[in-house]
Amino acid sequence: MLFRVICHLDMDAFYASVEQRDHPDLIGQPVIVGAPPTQRGVVCAASYEARKFGVRSAMASITAKRLCPDGCFVRPRMDAYREESQRIMEILARTGAVVEQMSVDEAYLDVSSICQAEDPDASLRRAVPLAQELKARIQSERHLTATIGIAANKLLAKIASDHQKPDGLTVITDEQRVPFLRPLPVRTLYGVGKVTEQVLNRAGISTIGDLQDYPGDLRALVGSFGPTLKKYAVGEDDRPLEIGDEIKSISGEETFLQDTDDRKILRHCLKEQAADIERRLKHRQLAAHTVQVKVRYSDFATLTRQISLEEPLTEAAEIYRLACFLLGREKLVHRPLRLLGLGVSNLREPTTQQLALF
């Protein structure tokens, strides 16, 4: 029998850390990657120093400036981040592990075949030196830090990597998994979004421990997701790493009967598209890093514009807000539109908030 050993690697404040590495004068400073506050723009990423002030991805740059007056605003360099990501993934591939890249700064590694021992927990502990070596390689070769979680499945490995950032290493053994999960909020679990969290909270379920102890049938609260959620609550997850074809994007568009630049009609269209994208993301238990708008004019000229964020999006309101921002910033509705489209890409699992230490 092969004991499963899964690592989840998450780069620490990736965009901002690349900027601090490449510009040493930014080290230790509250770095905000995004448009300057003097222009209409949003935050794409923030360093840990800036996050202490409440600065987050998708926030308006002017709001970030108000929260963090001394913030150092840096324009995003997506090509540089993608190139850096490629170098990091090459380091991961050298381990001989099966690698599932989730985004530019995140990946799962199945190291089961190279970390076997006499029992499941001993196998997990055997992965610790490998994880330490990976972190050291990334530090020495790329001058960046990474956090790694180790567990017997994807669910627990990701929770472990969220537990102690930055530059952390956490192992959740089989013996520890149930007590480890008990005090954590239900939102921590894969597949539990804002709406599901609210439904559970109304039923008196706020922690994973509450889920573990719940005597009723969770299907009465969350439908067909109930049995899976019950398994997740005790740390059970049999999802394999996916290294083949995967969904790349989700989008929708509408061709109008008559060309229009009526803001009310366009806003209504975007809201419907954003709501549909949210439903499809949640159905597939995914989140998006990139939002894109598409417009077509009466002469069939077609333009697309996009924005990428470090922290992924799942909610329709945020997707809609960023779509409106792109249309406004690029002045795309300067004449009537024949078609309006909205899409998301760079998809991955939703990110939980960093977990507080017990």
d(CA 216, CA 358): 28
Instruction: Tell me which of 19, 49, 100, 106 is the catalytic residue.
Output: 106
Backbone angles phi, psi at 239, to 5 degrees: -65, 130
Rounded to the nearest 5 degrees, what angle is found at the Cα of 158, between the Cα atoms of 116 and 148? Answer: 65
Q: Which helix (H) or strand (E) holds 253?
A: strand 249-260
Asked whether the beta carbons of 294 and 280 are under 8 A apart, the reply is no
Rg (CA), the chain: 22
The token pair at 302 is 């077609």
Q: Is 106 a catalytic residue?
A: yes
Q: What is the dihedral of CA 209, 211, 212, 214, to 10 degrees?
A: 120
> Strands of 302-313's sheet, edge to edge?
249-260, 337-348, 287-297, 302-313
Classify residue 115 by its DSSP letter: S
Asked whether the beta carbons of 56 and 62 are under 8 A apart, the reply is no
The token pair at 88 is 């990091």
Pair type for strands 169-171 and 6-11 = unpaired
Q: For the chain, where are the alpha helices, taking DSSP H only?
A: 14-22, 48-51, 61-67, 78-93, 120-137, 154-163, 177-181, 194-202, 208-213, 219-222, 226-233, 263-283, 316-329
Helices (runs of H) and strands (runs of E) counted in the chain: 13, 12
Query: How far from the centroid of its chain's Cα atoms is residue 120's Cα?
Result: 29
d(CA 208, CA 185): 6
Which residues form the catalytic set? 106
